[in-house]
A and B are shown apart, each in its own frame.
Chain A
């Protein structure tokens, strides 16, 4: 039997405001426990929430970036449940009328085309605190610094048909969030969290019952968890069983999931309008002003790099992975405007690889765009060959010297003096009489041998084009 997989994703994104959603407490990560709390985010009776305007603006910006409708009037509701990291006994969320609805994201698919994934809604809500259980006997510890941190929950349509499509969507969304600068989006720090709704069915029949997978905090685990769940459901159905609607927790160490909440406590959140907050009203003018301030998005940037700098779609993709990398590339081009493609090659193929080995991001590159441009200038004016330039780049990573100083100090200047090159060629010819005779007898392939020998004798410093040209003349005798 052939099964079709159906996946919908809910992504919780922590909005990177300095303060919480409904109070003036700091959202700084990693502070001493419970030092960033107040009566509002501790749920003390009689305290009133006041919405952080910037959190709303960033949610609207995200909505505009996914081509969604912005509801000029949206509402807040209470989602009721009991857990010690939720001091009010309810989470302020948006249920009936969210701020953002009906958007989409186009994702790349295997055959090279694009697929449109619908985004049902983005609503604002507040984060819960953090509970710790490990190494504790019969108790849990609660830190409420995170309580009330603003979140946007981005809910997709069940439009994905494989774990790979789900990952492609998440990566695209993650990149967008980073470009918009609406979240730190660090998955390990819980700033970008994903729940997956997974079901299987026979094509042409109604969707199957879905299971919700929680706690997926890396792209790798998400893929593993979805694939495990798909196999579990197919085996279950083929053995005559039935999928039950439940929440499952993925255990990345074991590579399997288990049901999280018992059935008796099935979700019953009793949503009702939040009486402490009147409706959120924004004007079309405010929305337009936010749209005007929208930064260039990854897709637009990729396209501009291809047309403005003549880059391949592959290079354009690599160099637009983050805003910082794209900015770095553009400063490199500004400093070495003669050849944007050379800039792309040296950044994408040489510098990024070396930085990866050093465990560094481009923002912390020991070689600045200015210094790298200085080296590219020396390639352009034939002072050094591309091969020698790799050694120069290595040396630049280990010192603060610029390319000229390194070339001078190490005597790496390319030999373009035809007299000097002729002398080397003649020495090589004298040392290899058999090959010379062979070449002159018609073995053209030996040309490569002589090029190699000459480059070796010059320690790689001979200008390769000149070596070729002079060899053509001198070998003939």
Chain B
């Protein structure tokens, strides 16, 4: 199976050299080709599996359970200023 490795890498924000892309292309294609075998199974009348566990979703009560832990949570941030995370400029 042929896939556009460069596009997939771009969408995933992974930088690939041309030789890496050349090497990964056939590998990823092989994996997808293997999965593709599933399409040979006749699934007519079978409901799509939304989740491997046949469990309904537990729901949470609408009650505040978390308090302010900003200092602890921001301790691992590369850069913080006045309580705000600082990132490279993102607007066009």
Contacts and interface: CB of A to CB of B under 8 A. Distances in A.
A280 B66 CA distance: 24
A295 interface: no
Contact of B84 (A34, A52, A261, A277): A34
Interface in A23-44: 23-26, 32-39, 42
Contacts of A277: 51, 57
B59 A56 contact: yes
B70 A34 contact: yes
- Majority SS of interface residues in chain B? loop
Interface string B41-71: 0000000001101011111111111101110
Given A33-B83, A39-B73, A24 B11 contact: no
A208 interface: no
Contacts of A34: 70, 73-74, 83-85
A138 B65 CA distance: 37
Given A83-B90, A141-B86, A279-B51, A23 B70 contact: no
A53 B62 contact: yes
B17 to A, nearest CB: 20
- Majority SS of interface residues in chain A? loop
Interface residues of B, number: 34
A143 interface: yes
A19 B69 CA distance: 16
B60 A139 contact: no
Contacts of B11: 80, 268, 270
Interface residues of A, number: 52
A97 B49 CA distance: 12
A53 B59 contact: yes
A206 interface: no
A278 B50 contact: yes
Given A33-B82, A34-B85, A38-B69, A51 B63 contact: no
Contacts of A75: 50
B81 interface: yes
B73 A37 contact: yes
Contact of A273 (B50, B56, B64, B82): B50
A260 B69 contact: no
B63 A18 contact: yes
A24 B70 contact: no
B75 interface: no
A35 to B, nearest CB: 4
Contacts of B81: 141
A428 to B, nearest CB: 71
A244 B23 CA distance: 36
B90 to A, nearest CB: 5
Nearest to B76: A44
Contacts of B89: 133, 136, 138-140
Contact of A139 (B59, B66, B70, B86): B86
A261 B83 CA distance: 29
B55 A139 contact: no
B57 A52 contact: no
A95 to B, nearest CB: 12
B84 A33 contact: yes
A167 to B, nearest CB: 29
Contacts of A84: 85, 87, 90
A136 B87 CA distance: 11
Q: Which of A25, A38, A139, A143 has the most CB of B within 10 A?
A: A139
A52 B59 contact: yes
Q: Which 4 A-B pairs have the closest CB atoms?
A: A24-B65, A53-B59, A54-B62, A141-B84
Given A142-B85, A143-B84, 4 more contacts: A84-B90, A141-B87, A278-B50, A278-B57
Interface of A: 17-19, 22-26, 32-39, 42, 50-56, 75, 80, 82-84, 97, 131-133, 136, 138-144, 260-261, 268, 270, 273, 275, 277-281
30 contacts: A18-B62, A18-B64, A19-B60, A19-B62, A24-B63, A24-B65, A25-B64, A26-B64, A32-B70, A34-B70, A35-B70, A36-B66, A37-B69, A37-B73, A51-B60, A52-B59, A84-B85, A132-B84, A136-B89, A140-B89, A140-B91, A141-B85, A141-B86, A142-B84, A273-B50, A273-B51, A277-B51, A278-B50, A278-B55, A279-B50
